[in-house]
Amino acid sequence: MAKVRVFSLAKELGLKSSALIKALAHMGVPNLTPASAIDEDTATTVRELLAEQLTKVRERTKEAEDAARQEAQAAQKAGVDAVRAAADAEADATVEEEIKQREEELALLEREMAGHGFGPSHPGAYTSIEEIERRMAEVEASAEPKQQPDAVTPLPELAKRLTGTRPDSAVEVPPVITVLGHVDHGKTTLLDALRSTDVVTGESGGITQHIGASELEVGDKRVVFIDTPGHEAFTAIRARGAQVNDIAVLIVAADDGIMPQTVEAIGHAKAADVPIIVAVNKCDLPAADPERVKQQLLEHELVPEEWGGDTIVVEISAITKQGLDELVDMLLLVAEVQELWADPEADFVGVVIEAGIATSEGSVATVLIRNGTLHVGDSIVAGSNHGRVRRLRDWRGNSAKEMGPGRPVEIVGLSGTPDAGEIATLTDSPRAAREAATAHEERAWQRDIETSHAAVLRELFAGMISGEVEQLNVIVKADVYGSAQALEAKLLELDDQIEEVDIEVIHAGVGPVNESDVMLARASEAIIISFHVQAPQSVRQTAEAAGIEIRVYDVIYEIIDDIIAAASGLLKPVIEQRAIGKAEVLQTFRSSRAGVVAGCRVTEGSLQPGAKMTVIRDGEVIYDGILDSLRHFDQDVSQIEAPGECGVACAGFRQWQIGDIIEASVEVEVERRLSITSDDARPHEQG
């Protein structure tokens, strides 16, 4: 029997998926999600039951809207008069200067409301006194002097999706979808098929070399795609792409299965905490095996819906366009559940997706607008770059005078090329934009100075190997005081036992890692050891910005092992001569290229060119040198193992005799490790 997804049925009936799910639950069909499928009989019953109810609801809604409109019009004049009367009463009780200030505020209120459509001609302008007071508070707040956005709000926060109560001016925005996957699994080909373009033929070797943004219109819905590079050299750019998206499409070739970059892509999507839809591509090929791909997904904690999980898996072919309609439906489904919105009247915030230099236009940057509206002529700042917007273009290259939230737009007019991931904001003037860009550059420079000496454990290990670091500063945080004391004592005991490095416990405390610990670590070039406690996300962000590493442990001996590993890095490796094989000379012959050659049989191990060679005759060493050439028949070889036969040549020795014994060896570096054998014993070396 045919199946109908809840999302599709809700779309057909003009309902939200959540509303339809509640209705189905009342009808005895519980535990559904928007992606769930119901049989056609149930869908028909729902259509019949809801048709009449929907008609009545729409009629009641229209009547309520008409009544509300009439009430709003009637209340408008009375509401304005009440506000003015209240303002006059308050003004009478204040000094003359306050009266003047209140009149100015009221005039500002009226101008702002008129500018936003809240005037006598707007039927829904004032619904109550509380509404007018709320609007006045907003206007007064907007009239206050504003600092640069990144001076009061962390820039990454500005680019996040808005949550909470929606303002009246809020609009729905399209989801931002990142297509991730292994090289040559069909990411760009899929986008070409969806948006009817041909980008892939223009890429270098068919591999995407940059991040591009594009749009797809489906009826009255819109979807924004970010196409990320498939080449593993661009992992960092791919990570930036995952930071701004709402949905990740993981594309996996049905004939290849999950590959190394597929695993990286899963990690990026999970780190961004976004829904993952798996598109199994190339299902038209004879070697396609979608079931094997689904099995592999289980290894990475992605359980397909049909197997009882929550990961949507769609079998497609970007070439034949098989399954593309279903994929688009699933994208719209997941986006609807997320209820994405933005405010076109809010302050503009955008995220740079890519930037470059055009010969005739200078710097060109692709920006994804997260909030607000961007106009031609606006003064913009993106990181340490600034300028006035000279031209705006949509993803197809069409010029535009303005662009609202949720849209990717190409901007011409910046002073330079900002990095992908930079936050773009607006200022009041080009001069303010230039000052903001300069301030951003100075702050970045200061952060570089402050973090250049910050201690990260892996850097300390590298420094110890080169002998540049001789002191290890540590801050200890534990769940209870006893654990902190015990750990501090263990570290100090270890310090007494290891001569090569000085371990200094800067601070030992109880409770989660906090901002003060991070500041102390930065000032003292210390690492933070967290034992049975965690650090809040805000503290982790501060530590990351400061270049401080927080190491979390649950077992005390893991801490000791890491410290011993650090101290071991100070010990220079031992160079040992390791025997690799023996050979016996069976005959000698001359070669025009190599001179006298010894024909040998390898009796133990193996021989290889470049190995140290010792020639022994009648129990005595007659030559030490390097084995220059090793041949098997007329071919040079890299190794001959016992009991193989070969020809051996050495430029410094030609007096071969039958019966000579060749002993071959190579030099190897043996790492020296410190081992703590007992509380009383000092560390000893292990080769």
The per-residue pLDDT for range 400-453, each reduced to its tens digit, is 999 999 999 999 999 888 877 788 999 999 999 899 888 887 777 666 545 444
Residue of 645, 641, 663, 550 lying closest to 598 (CA atoms): 645
CATH 1.10.10.2480 maps onto the chain at 1-144
| Confidence at 660, pLDDT banded by 50, 70, 90 | very high
How confident is the prediction for the chain on average, in pLDDT?
Answer: 75
What is the DSSP track for 124-172?
TS-S-HHHHHHHHHHHHHHHS----HHHHS-HHHHTSPP-SSPPTT-EE
Cis peptide before 643 (omega within 30 of 0): yes
Q: What is the CATH number of domain 457-568?
A: 3.40.50.10050
The mean-pLDDT minimum among 41-55, 225-239, 285-299, 352-366 falls in 225-239
CA distance 88 to 84: 6
Encoded tokens for 610: 């470049």
CA distances from 422 to 354, 367, 546 (A): 10, 9, 19
Task: Mention the CATH class of domain 349-446.
Answer: mainly beta
CATH 3.40.50.300 maps onto the chain at 176-339
Q: Where is pLDDT greater, at 463 or 20?
A: 20
DSSP state of 346: S
The type of residue at 227 is: D
Q: Where is pLDDT greater, at 575 or 159?
A: 575
CATH 3.40.50.10050 maps onto the chain at 457-568
List strand residue ranges (DSSP E) for 485-643, in order: 502-510, 526-531, 550-553, 574-591, 595-607, 612-617, 620-626, 629-632, 635-636, 640-641
3-state SS assignment for residue 655? coil
327 pLDDT more than 60: yes
Q: Where is pLDDT greater, at 121 or 572?
A: 572
Q: Where is pLDDT greater, at 147 or 375?
A: 375
Classify domain 1-144 by CATH architecture.
Orthogonal Bundle (1.10)
Please give the helix or strand (H or E) that residue 333 lies within, else none. helix 324-338
Confidence at residue 687, expressed as pLDDT on a 0 to 100 scale: 44
| Confidence at 676, pLDDT banded by 50, 70, 90 | low
pTM as predicted: 0.48
Does the domain at 577-670 match CATH 1.10.101.10? Answer given as no
Confidence at residue 646, expressed as pLDDT on a 0 to 100 scale: 92
CA distance 682 to 498: 7
CATH 2.40.30.10 maps onto the chain at 349-446, 577-670
Instruction: Read off the pLDDT of each residue in 565-583 and give the average, rounded to a whole number.
Output: 75
Classify domain 176-339 by CATH architecture.
3-Layer(aba) Sandwich (3.40)
Confidence at residue 315, expressed as pLDDT on a 0 to 100 scale: 93
Confidence at residue 581, expressed as pLDDT on a 0 to 100 scale: 93
